[in-house]
Amino acid sequence: KQEVTQIPAALSVPEGENLVLNCSFTDSAIYNLQWFRQDPGKGLTSLLLIQSSQREQTSGRLNASLDKSSGRSTLYIAASQPGDSATYLCAVNKREAAGNKLTFGGGTRVLVKP
Amino acid sequence: EAGVTQFPSHSVIEKGQTVTLRCDPISGHDNLYWYRRVMGKEIKFLLHFVKESKQDESGMPNNRFLAERTGGTYSTLKVQPAELEDSGVYFCASSPLAPSGANVLTFGAGSRLTVL
């Protein structure tokens, strides 16, 4: 059974500092891994999707790496801004699934202080 | 384009009552998913529709939950009778029909259910 863990559960940094969010999963037979952002009272916004064959994906200030063999992914957010404050969720997509049957981690709640 | 719409945004009911949650996916999205997050736990998969057919309902907790997607457009999730442990946020997500795993889900804002 796939388990996804995100550490730390909460993180507070001053504006401008780089953010490093960690995600680990127990079963390396994944199809892809996604990072989401959730703002209070809002839905989940997909940030980055990494296919199992890829090692990283980048979008603007965001970079996500994937080490499937060790069951780890890291989301880096460069030069954090107060607008980056949100909960970040990692989710793995089970291999051979007919669709996106995601297993989520508990999330990391990020606060960027001005 | 309009996003995934869910309503109600919040529902408060008594134990034993019935609640129906609705999800309107993005137009043209054949894949529709229901997920939920109960207090203190991770978001968990409930079921997956492809058009009007249930592709995978392995995450449905018990037979008090009934999901439908008549006509392959909007979907409803009915909880009858509701129990205290059903409280949580129910998310709907949709995506176009594409190679498995390649597409990105668009999530709705969720429907918060409180059972008293």
User: What's residue B100's pLDDT?
Assistant: 53
Reference A53, options A63, A64, A68; nearest CA is A68
Say yes or no for a CB contact (<8 Å) between B35 and A102: yes
Select the residue of B4, B41, B95 nearest A100 (Cβ to Cβ): B95
pLDDT tens sequence across A14-30: 999 999 999 999 998 88
Say yes or no for a CB contact (<8 Å) between A43 and B4: yes
Can you give A68-113 as a three-state secondary structure string?
Answer: CCCCEEEEEECCCCHHHCEEEEEEEEECCCCCCCEEECCCEEEEEE
Is B43 an 8 Å CB contact of chain A? yes
pLDDT tens sequence across A45-76: 999 999 889 999 999 999 999 999 999 999 99
Reference A23, options A75, A78, A62; nearest CA is A75
How close, in Å, is residue B20 to chain A by CA atoms?
Answer: 19
Q: Which residue of chain B has the CA closest to A100?
A: B101
Report in angstroms the alpha-carbon separations of B114 from A4, A101, B7, B81: 26, 25, 14, 13
User: What's residue A94's pLDDT?
Assistant: 79
Is B88 an 8 Å CB contact of chain A? no
pLDDT band at B101 (very low <50, low <70, confident <90, very high): very low
Q: Is the pLDDT of residue A40 over 90?
A: no
Q: How far apart are CA B26 and CA B24, in angstroms?
A: 7
